[in-house]
Chain A
Amino acid sequence: MDVMPKWADVVLIPVISLVLAAALSAIVILAIGESPWEALKIMVQGALGSTYGWGYTLYYATNFVFTGLAVAIAFHARMFNIGGEGQAALGGLGVALVCLYIPWPHWSLALLGATAGAALFGAAWAIIPAVLQAKRGSHIVITTIMFNFIAAAFLNYLLVGALKPAGSMEPATGKFPDATFLPSFQDMFSTADNPLFRGAPANVTFFVAIAACVVIWALIWRTRLGYELRAFGHSETAAKYAGISPTKIIVISMAISGALAGMMAINNVMGEAERLVLNAVEGAGFIGIAVALMGRSHPFGVFLAAILFGFLYQGGAELALWTSIPRELIVVIQALVILFTGALDNMVRMPLERIFLARRRKAARATTLTAAE
């Protein structure tokens, strides 16, 4: 029998890990001479206290939903895709090409085109390591790390070369045409006398991200592909017995993973920057690892974890603005979340299992005692 009830595995362990990470972060804040309580207040106020703050929080969260889903779906097939960073960078290239070189009549069509471009480029960048893993046994973690660096060099090459407008000194593409500008939350929700989300980058991509959560959820738990993918993740020998091709699952799961990571670019490149700049991904690909671990690889969990990290990112920016705590504190928190929910999972789990086991024994004793009476 399972030692722990399901809710403990799904809710309790991530929450305890989060509390541990928060406690350690508070100690760090104390150590640098600031007040954790004040810091938290500033973060909450800055990230959630206004529609402006929410506009940033949800903008970051949108990025993390995509990269988190990317890591999560690969986890289901027992693949560790650490290459979200590079795949998102390539996705940015796809978006830029689609936006710059196709004359779009309306943003909605441009969004469809850009989504396809981002997904295609992101997937392509993930398929190469996937094929090398399936056919040549090259360790996917190492190859995807290498592909992150190759992607960075490749984009660097393009942005100081072919994609840079003549005469520009900056390593970036030119501004995308106006027709490709995505409506921001400000455009969507403000009225003349009640401006909301003013100047915040959250845009229509947020709803694409929610749709992606639903689609991925259905894919994992409702489709035959998801069924086969999870089966392969649980047992490769059983998958072979059932006629599920390992090569097919490895390549398809990584392609979907890469496509999701790539789709992040419609948010940051098309929705926010409206051009492709150097290092546009800014580590969001790696945050996807923390988000997927925290969200237990479930799309709904990923969504919640992405909002949490969106909050941390916006709150962290506010902290840097109002206190002497730099933004990098968020990186520390992110590291601690990965550490506790990923690598130190057993440290949290083992004592909990002992508690649940003891409680069950006690309950069993109680029943036998009652029976004896």
Chain B
Amino acid sequence: MDLLTLLQLLDSTLRLATPLLLACLAGLFSERAGIFDIGLEGKMLASAFLSAAIAFTTGSVWIGLLAGVGASLLLSAIHGVASITFRGNQLISGVAINFLAAGLTVVIAQSWFAEGGRTPQLAGAARFNPITLPFANELRDVPVLGPIYYELISGHTALVYVALLIVPLSWWVLYSTRFGLRLRAVGENPAAVDTAGISVIGLRFTAVAICGVLCGLAGAYLATALQAGFTKDMSAGRGYIALAALIFAKWKPWPCLWATLLFGFLQALALRPDLITSTLGFSVQTQLLDALPYILTVVILAGFVGKAIPPRAGGEPYIKER
């Protein structure tokens, strides 16, 4: 494999890892506050649809992005009401949200655009277009570093850079701010937060809202950057892969980046089976690559390779003890 092919592969890794990363960080905020969220998938899908639909209607991808985030936030609110206010089962709520999004997006898309449950193709300002970073063209011919800068680092859409910036931002918020301290505390021991005079409900709703915003970005990226429009079920299990990545990353921001890059790399490889054959000398089934993130996660969950310990209060509604 030559440098250019490798760079193309890594470039595609980065593009495919971005929605996983955003969804993974979304899950990070929710689960660190003690709210399990298997509804990442549904929120991404809802945002993907509404962002594409609004971007197409208004011609502005930014308005589309806002609308997508709004759709995702709405589903987050349902999850919050069910699991925080009414102390329902967080897993069942997540399942319901995934179905709600899967159904509603197609029903509305069909009634709105009548194109078989998809939105029309997006073009121009209705899409996120690649950004060429300064001097990318000029430096292109510098050996090694030039192609790396031009092919791999430059030429992505804005949301890719945003997602990458959110990693250090999340790390900073979680570990350097008052809000982060309280958020982590409420996921470990809500009683400690409650007796310290802080609202458990308020904190958890905030966390769920942040999760909604990040899922919204992930979904909008799918429909307006990675693809040019919404198609039925376009999230294609990415919400679940993000969940797997979150476990893989043991609920920490930087490892979230590495885990999603790894899973993105597997997805990129699956698109280029010829590369594997030419590099390894034998062919690897793409289905194995598809399944690998899930298999790795099960291995991690089983504690065979380092134990993944979730936030202690995760999944349990908070009830003041008598």
Contacts and interface: CB of A to CB of B under 8 A. Distances in A.
The yes or no verdict on A and B being binding partners is: yes
Interface of A: 28, 32-33, 80, 82, 132, 136-139, 141-143, 145-147, 149-150, 152-154, 156-157, 161, 286, 289, 293, 324-326, 328-336, 338-339, 342-347, 350
B291 A332 contact: no
Given A132-B301, A328-B103, A334-B99, 17 more contacts: A32-B107, A32-B111, A136-B303, A146-B297, A153-B288, A153-B290, A153-B291, A293-B92, A326-B117, A328-B110, A329-B107, A330-B103, A338-B92, A338-B96, A342-B92, A342-B93, A343-B86
Interface in B81-102: 81-83, 86-93, 95-100, 102
B14 interface: no
A33 B111 CA distance: 8
Nearest to B87: A346
Contact of B302 (A132, A141, A153, A332): A132
Q: Which of A138, A147, A336 has the most CB of B within 10 A?
A: A138
A68 to B, nearest CB: 14
B298 A138 contact: yes
* Interface of chain A, main secondary structure: helix
- Chain A CB count within 10 A is highest, among B98, B100, B103, B108, for B103
Given A332-B100, A338-B99, A339-B100, A154 B287 contact: yes
A142 B89 CA distance: 15
A157 B301 contact: no
Contacts of B295: 146, 150
Interface of B: 38, 78, 81-83, 86-93, 95-100, 102-108, 110-111, 114, 117, 232, 237, 240, 243-244, 247, 285, 287-288, 290-291, 294-295, 297-298, 301-303, 310
Nearest to A337: B96
Contacts of B298: 132, 138, 143, 146-147, 150
A130 to B, nearest CB: 12
A145 B99 contact: no
Contact of A82 (B83, B91, B302): B91
A139 B31 CA distance: 14
| Most A-side CB within 10 Å, residue of B38, B89, B117 | B89
Given A329-B103, A346-B88, A142 B247 contact: yes
A329 B243 CA distance: 27
Nearest to A32: B111
Nearest to B100: A335
A325 B82 CA distance: 28
Given A136-B303, A137-B303, A332 B103 contact: yes
B117 to A, nearest CB: 6
9 smallest CB-CB distances across A and B, nearest first, come from A331-B103, A335-B99, A343-B93, A332-B103, A32-B111, A342-B92, A153-B291, A335-B100, A343-B88
A328 B92 contact: no
Contacts of B244: 146
Contacts of B78: 339
13 contacts: A32-B107, A142-B247, A142-B301, A150-B294, A153-B288, A153-B294, A154-B291, A324-B111, A328-B105, A331-B102, A333-B103, A342-B95, A343-B92
Contacts of A161: 285
Given A153-B291, A289-B92, A334-B103, A139 B301 contact: yes
